[in-house]
Structure 1
Amino acid sequence: MHTRRGNGRYPRPNNHHPQINGPQVAMPEDVIGRQRIQERPTLLECSPRRRDMLLGTDMKEWMTFGSEKDFTETPADFIDADQLAQFLKLTQQKHEEHISEQVKFTLHNRANPYEDIRNLCFVSRCGPKLASLDKMFDFRITGETDYKKRAAKTPIVDGLHADNTLSRDDPPFIFADIGGAPGGFSDYILWRKGFYNAKGFVSFATSERSFGYNHSRMLPGNAECLDFHTGPVENGNHNCVENVDAYINHVKSELRRHNPDGEETVDFVGAFMCLTRDGHEMEQEFRHEKMLLGNIVTGLSLLKLNGNMLVRVFDLFTPVTVGLVYCLYLAFKQIAVVKPITCRPGNSEQFIFCEKLTPFGATIIKDHLTEVLCSWDDLPEGETVASLVPLTLMKDDARFFDYIYKHNMTTVDRQTRYIQFYLLCARDQRIRVPDSDKIIKVALAHWELKPCPRKGKPRFHQIPDIKAIIAMYADEHWNPETFTAKPSNFNLSDFNAATSFYASELDFPAVEFALVAINSTGTVFYAIDAETGFVETQFTGPPSSIFLVENNPSLFAPDMDQLVIHDAAVLSGDNLADLPFPQRMKVARKFAITAIMQLPEGTNVKLTVPEIKEISVLQITENQKIAESCRISRKDSSFWANLIPGGSWLKD
């Protein structure tokens, strides 16, 4: 019978403490169990007075330069020197074990109970990883702090279907994903936001030393809410000014293109770009210093005031890395450095949650770090930035120094003991952590996730046949045998003077319309009349969508650059057909901002929704130009009834 100790969560696998090179090796419950599933971050807040003290400072003088270093020169300014030396020695020992990738995979499963979570329904392990972080910060990463809305869109109770009713009127959530390959971070955000409620701008690298982006395996509908971009210089990594500027300009131009009157900023930035380990685990912190700087400059340049940012980091020992953390501490209202239990406990991956960007961060800190990046680009080979914030300034800030020192001591202690246990597992095949199934079940419930297969996803019925999609959503007004999308004709005798109508202006007066339908795999079809029927196109778009657009000579031609939506029945699986016409158009505007419709080669089509205005019966009947230049819709008519030109829906 197992005995328990500590918090009683995990049973002890045996009753002895093996030795590896002398020091006693902790048991799994010491390594894993001490970090509870219900993680609580320690937040670090910068006082406004400290920012005021730095106003007018010439931060260019903060920069120093030197020659490139390796891990043997890692300084001990923010950690105990003996503990750092032991950690580096043990890490090198692990690296020199030369364990094959297949054996590493087995070891991860045996030594870490959270390994079996894998990717769940997401494209990679980054999905559950971000879910645990989101929960840790009370869902402030995705902005889903309202439990009722969250539970409606992403139900974890079997038998419940996703419902967007409570979130339709929320503004779109715009985010930047900087190098979050292979896509699990964006996959989670778009799943948590649901339907058409979010849009992401993804920056990805093309180097073999960087992780690739696998959007084809994302949850259905998610890739159709992502705009992909890579930098023009070499592999596209954010370690040079040209690539950083190119991505910033791309995001801002796309935001202007889809919403000319809106802000050119995003609600959230995920700064995740990193290199593959590639046999250089010992130098990860040094290798990522410049890329981390580029990621942060990008984030500060795009994030709105009071917006949040999540930054992936590795070890926090060098003056450059800790200096960047100090700049984030100054730039945001508060930050927290965390290593969630979904990160492998033996590696150095960590995250910094930065909450509420301040004006000081959006201007002074952003400008300083941009200047550092520009200076770094101009350095000769072999030279590097040695520091970007004076070491004395960081050490004299007792609140900051104590926070980083304590975090490093705690994190390195846990990582050291886990590496010892990992090496023990490599030498003894009988050892593994207990109760992983039970641990995972508790963790998923806490993060508001549930196991789900890669197929049969929520939100979208797996129906590739477009006629079946139409039949599933249409009501009794739909007749595929008599369908035509010609403009409505009006007769004064059909109207009651109190009837309420809305007019949406046409780009091409007196045009026909086309019914656009997108099946469950994202293939776009359109129909103009019953005789021609639905025509399959080369375009892709958000699955399970049905809406009405203007027909024009370039409709779904390779050079088409715009679609004008005049009504919507279903958008990304959200059935709007019975909502009042003004509300359907409001939702369609949100969809036009977040949805991506494109050709196979990646050319995006701009979706627009015209403004609507309420008009009277007399205005329609006395002004022929209105009937010719506008589409007339009845306020309280369903989409399918509104589709019938001059039909019975016009009569009271």
Structure 2
Amino acid sequence: NNPSTSTSSSSSSGEDSPSTEDSPGCSGLGKAVKRKMDEVVQPLDMYSSVANKMMRKMGYQPGTGLGREKQGRVDIVPASEQRGRRGLGLKIKALNKDVVIDWEDEKPPSAEEVVDWFPPYDGGMPEKGEMEAWADVGKKKLVIDDETLFCDNGVLKTVLECKSIFDDLEGQEMRKARMRSNPYETIRGGIFLNRAAMKMANMDSILDFMFTQPKCLGNNEILYFADVCAGPGGFSEYILWKKKWRAKGFGFTLKGPNDFKLGDFFAANSEFFEPHYGVNGIDGNGDIMNTSNLEEFQDFVLTNTNEKGVHFVMADGGFSVEGQENIQEILTKQLLMCQIVCALSILRVGGNFVLKTFDLFTPFSNGLIYLLRIAFENVAIYKPVTSRPANSERYAVCQGYRDEDRQLFNYLIEINDQMNEFKKSSVNQDVKAVVPLEILTGDQEFFNYMKTSNESIAKEQCKGLAKIHAFTKDRSLRETKQAQVRLECLKKWQVPDRVRSAPQKTDVSSLFYKLTGLKEPHANSESKMLTSDNLLSSIRGVFNYKCYVSSVNSSILVSMGGSYIFLWNKNNRRWLNLTQLKCLIPRDTILEVEIAQELKGESKGQHRVTTIHIVDALFLAGDDMRALNYAERMQSAAIFAEAIRKPSCKHLNLVRTKEIFRLEDAGKIFTQLKLKTVKGGGSIPRPCYEITNSDLCFVPRGIVFVRTSQDPWSMEYSRSQNRKYFFNMRTNESVFECPPDFNAPYDICSTSRLIWEWRDGVKVHPDQQHHRVNNISTDQLLNFVRSKLP
């Protein structure tokens, strides 16, 4: 029975209410009975009305038993103190201990947070020789209670005592109390894989979206990021949910049960994420404390980001320290350092970094934070509200990477080699510091910040632990603002308040209809053929067209996610499952493509590679692109193709966009045509189009011209103003600003295409021997274009 409900329960029923004393006509006998009832109820007033009523019916009198002769037990039988799956009669020491911390003065829960940044570091980058003398090697240390330089002795002692109280509790008891006591607990993972994803949503919002919208990210540039020691991948799921197809992630974590679980990404498309495990790539072990793995991952990331590096790095490493929670900082020191090493090796200038840490009491940990302060323009130690108040977790947030020569990376990777040598030799030696203590304490701004931060977080942690302890002892206690706080936080972080659910399964026809509103792709007529007779009448203004080199007829491709991709067969009017292609394309994607045969090498040594060439984009991972102009659609498709490219998976077929030219620049196409002997194509060399920045080529069937303007507008050139302008053919209006209805959407572009086919007899390369008169020649096309230019 719950004592806290006795008052309201006893007054809820007229039968048990004492108000009859004041009723009209109440006799003296009735008052005497009422006084007798009060005597009976008084000893039981701490119990519910139901318990009182039951005892009265059994004839209970204070101080006597319930037997016929008033015999039997007089004192009240205590409630069972049995907790968890323990032996009967076992006393749990933690429940009898008192925590001398007042948790009731905790800060009221709120979605508003303040991040306290370090004062900017105004010193220069230390020289290599200077840093080499910084490392301090000494006897390995496995105690933390004497680390009182960066935290007050009393505060450190209290937090260690608070942690130790829970040693005798079962995990389930602790979790249940934590669930009821933490006002932010019910936020959980929301629509995401786990709570880590929601932490990233929390931090990204509070830090002005410095991760999903970093200052170093250019316009129309893919967002490159790395997720380090972060399986199963909650951090990445949030980033990919937020950025969709505009981001590409590189993952580096330990292979095994805690690996990335990409199949569990329900909120985002995992096709934009590529794990790598160091030496041997996807077949490596992912041990970040192995220097060779770090160097291999650095090479992989830089190679696939044009040697620039990623825009930001997330590091969420940790491992179980059950039973040794008080020395977690010491046990995880090398892991913490190696995550920093990894970030410093792959970040681009101006990039950002977020690193999970735990206690920061030792000189070693503080030295690492000091190096981060040197490497970045802004640094803060920050504990988001999604990080449970009772744990020692916090995050080092770093903005604006500035170590262009990666000097600090080179220094710390040597420290890592030294620590690995100590582990191999089993000597009782360790690296105790990476920055001399006199430098850490001599920088008063740094020292004061770290001491204040450590003590502030430790005090809040003690309150959180004390609150859990109180909620463990009294299971009737419950935090009442959880629902309200959840709604406030999700709204501020711009995350929908929905339950996580797997994408609905459907068939390709239903998916196509859901996205486009059409039962099947339009039965567009084939592109109009260009000949020498209709060239002048077909192309209306060279500034209105873009072009690309075609290899085969195009068709509509739909992806249902992963390797489930389908191609529309125009002849049979049905979808074909492209099982012969090995591609990973995100769900809800619709493209117009050519399935091209790219060639590598020549003659008998030549081999073919099947590649998907994107010629237009309708939907990219659910985003409707059809209303955008052709240049924007193709630019977006190029970002999309780069984001799903997985160079470590050699078995996958490549997806690339066509190289698009303005018609006025069509002459550039012919500089990329080379005569080559094609395997299976006879002994006569054929024109082959060489793909830019590649050793591959393909045999073209001709050039497709795409009209990018729509009636009644046309782009023309003003000789007097020496600039292009827009002319309305219906009203004869001329304007220099692009009209909102000038650009053609997908439907118009797809139905107004022209093609110049390079059939037998068309001379497109100067070394070809003959040309038929009725076909357009290269010179004829280029002369036509030149005649329209100023």
TM-score by length of 2: 0.67
Distance in structure 1 (CA, Å) of the matches to 2:665 and 2:390 = 72
Shift in CA distance, 134/497, structure 1 to aligned 2, threshold 3 Å? closer
Q: Is the 8 A contact 1:204 1:213 kept in 2?
A: yes
1:320 corresponds, among 354, 361, 364, to 364
Out of 627, 630, 643, the position equivalent to 1:594 is 643
SS of aligned partner of 1:51: coil
Instruction: Give the C-alpha shift of residue 640 in structure 1.
Output: 4.1
Alignment partner, residue 114 of structure 2: 40
Paired position in structure 2 for 1:66 = 138
Distance 2:300 2:102 in 1: 50
- 8 Å contact from structure 1 (residues 305, 358) kept in 2: yes
By how many angstroms is 1:221 displaced?
A: 4.1
Change (3 A) 1:479 1:93: closer
Letter in 1 for 2:114: R
Which secondary structure does the structure 1 equivalent of 2:329 belong to?
helix
Output aligned runs, 1:141-160, within 5 Å. 141-143=211-213
Structure 1 gap ranges (5+):
2-17, 146-166, 256-261
2:181 counterpart residue number: 111
- Match among 501, 510, 520 for residue 545 of structure 2: 501
Partner of 1:171: helix, strand, or coil? coil
The corresponding residue for 1:215 is: 262
Amino acid at match of 1:31: E
Distance 1:82 1:27 in 2: 17
1:269 partner SS: strand
* Residue equivalent to 1:526: 567
Q: What residue number does 2:27 align with?
A: none
Matched ranges for 1:178-217 at <5 A: 178-193=228-243, 195-207=244-256, 211-217=258-264
The match for 1:564 is: 613
**C-alpha distance in 2, partners of 1:526/1:221?**
24
Matched residue, 2:106: 31
Q: Corresponding residue for 1:81?
A: 153
Q: Distance in 2 between matches of 1:124 and 1:495?
A: 57
More divergent stretch after superposition (388-397 vs 575-584)? 575-584
The letter of the residue matching 1:24 is: V
In 2 relative to 1, CA 103–603 (structure 1 residues): closer, same or farther, beyond 3 Å? farther
Among candidates 240, 261, 275, match of residue 290 of structure 2: 240
| Residues 528, 67 of structure 1: alpha-carbon distance in 2 compared, 3 angstrom cutoff | farther
- Give the CA deviation at 1:604: 4.4
CA separation in 2, counterparts of 1:168 and 1:566?
Answer: 25
Pick closer, same or farther for the CA change 1:605–1:479 going to 2, 3 Å: closer
* Structure 1 residue 143 displacement after superposition: 1.3
**Deviation readout 1:392-420 (Å, 9 max, x if unpaired):** 11011100000000111111111112212
Partner of 1:405: 451
Q: Which residue of 2 aligns with 1:635?
A: 708
Change (3 A) 1:328 1:598: closer
Contact 2:707 2:753 in 1 (8 A): no
Which residue in the other structure is 1:468 paired with? 510
User: Is the partner of 1:293 in helix, strand or coil?
Assistant: helix
Instruction: Determine the C-alpha separation between the residues in 2 that align with 1:215 and 1:313.
Output: 25
Q: Does 1:395 align with 2:470?
A: no
Q: 1:497·1:616 contact (CA, 8 Å) conserved in 2?
A: no
Tell me which amino acid in the other structure corresponds to 2:586: P
Which has the higher mean CA deviation after the structures are superposed, 112-121 or 199-208?
199-208
Contact 1:19 1:25 survives alignment (8 Å): no
Which residue is equivalent to 1:584?
A: 633
| Structure 2 segments unaligned to the other structure (5+ residues) | 5-93, 600-607, 674-686, 690-699, 710-743, 756-790
CA distance in 1, matches of 2:548, 2:370: 52
Contact 2:353/2:398 (CA < 8 Å) preserved in 1?
yes
Match of 1:489 among 519, 524, 529: 529
Q: Does 1:310 align with 2:382?
A: no
Please tell me whether the aligned partners of residues 238 and 268 of structure 2 are also in contact (alpha carbons under 8 angstroms): no
- Counterpart Cα distance in 2 of 1:336 and 1:536: 51
The count of aligned residue pairs is 582
Residue 47 of structure 1 aligns to a residue in which SS? coil
1:448 aligns with 2:520: no
TM-aligned CA distance change 1:19 to 1:376, over 3 Å: closer
Larger Rg, first or second structure (1 or 2): 2
Q: How far apart are 1:467 and its partner, in Å?
A: 2.3
Letter in 2 for 1:594: A
- Return the TM-score normalized by structure 1: 0.80
What are the equivalent positions in structure 2 for 1:222-237 lying under 5 Å apart? 222-232=269-279, 235-237=285-287
Aligned amino acid, residue 345 of structure 2: S
Corresponding position of 1:153: none
1:273-422 equivalences in 2 (<5 Å): 273-359=317-403, 362-379=405-422, 380-382=425-427, 383-422=429-468
* Corresponding position: 1:550 with 2:599: no
**1:79 and 1:20 mapped to 2: Cα distance?**
29
Q: Is residue 237–residue 291 contact of structure 1 (8 Å, CA) maintained in 2?
A: no
- Partners of 1:198 and 1:403 lie apart in 2 by 35
**The residue matched to 1:368 in structure 2 has which SS?**
helix
Residue 512 (1) aligns with residue 553 (2): yes
What displacement does 1:85 show?
A: 2.1
Paired letter, 1:176: A
Q: Is the 8 A contact 2:266 2:501 kept in 1?
A: no
1:610 aligns with 2:649: no
How far does the alpha carbon of each residue in 1:131-185 deviate from its partner, in whole angstroms, 9 at most, with x for none? 221222122222179xxxxxxxxxxxxxxxxxxxxx9963221111112222221
Closer, same or farther: CA 144–376 of 1 in aligned 2, 3 Å: closer
Q: 1:304 Cα deviation (Å)?
A: 1.0
Task: Give the CA deviation at 1:430.
Answer: 1.6
Alpha-carbon deviation of 1:75? 1.9
Structure number with the bigger relative contact order (C-alpha 8 A, sep ≥ 6) is 1
Structure 1 554/532 Cα, relative in aligned 2: closer, same or farther at 3 Å?
farther
Cα deviation per residue 1:296-327 (whole Å; 9 max; x = unaligned)?
11111111111111011011011211111110
The answer to whether the 8 Å contact 1:520/1:543 transfers is yes
- Kindly report which structure 2 residues correspond to 1:97-176, keeping only aligned pairs within 5 A, or say none: 97-100=168-171, 102-143=172-213, 170-176=220-226
Contact residue 241 and residue 377 of structure 1 kept, 8 A: no
Aligned to 1:13: none
Could you say what the CA RMSD is over the residues aligned between the two structures, in angstroms?
Answer: 3.6
3-state SS of 1:62 partner? coil
Deviations 1:215-266 (A, max 9, x none): 22213542121111223498423112122122212222333xxxxxx44311
- Cα distance 1:276–1:235, how it changes in 2: closer, same or farther (>3 A)? farther
**Conservation of the 8 A alpha-carbon contact between 1:489 and 1:646:** no
Question: Given that residues 180 and 204 in structure 1 are in contact (C-alpha distance below 8 angstroms), is that contact kept between their aligned partners in structure 2?
Answer: yes
Task: Give me the whole-angstrom Cα distance separating, in 2, the residues matched to 1:596 and 1:142.
Answer: 20
For residues 409-452 of structure 1, the C-alpha deviation after alignment (integer angstroms, 9 at most, x for no partner) is 11111111221221222222122222211222222222222311
| SS in structure 1 at match of 2:642 | helix
Asked if structure 1 preserves the Cα contact closer than 8 Å seen for 2:309 and 2:348, the reply is yes
- Aligned residue in 2 for 1:9: none
Superposition deviation, residue 97 in structure 1: 1.7
Measured after TM superposition, the shift of residue 342 of structure 1 is 0.8
In 1, Cα distance between the equivalents of 2:505 and 2:752? 29
Shift of residue 350 of structure 1? 0.7
Q: How does 1:239-258 map to 2 (within 5 A)?
A: 239-255=289-305
Q: Deviations over 1:541-580 (max 9, x none)?
A: 111111123223589xxx9674322221111112222332
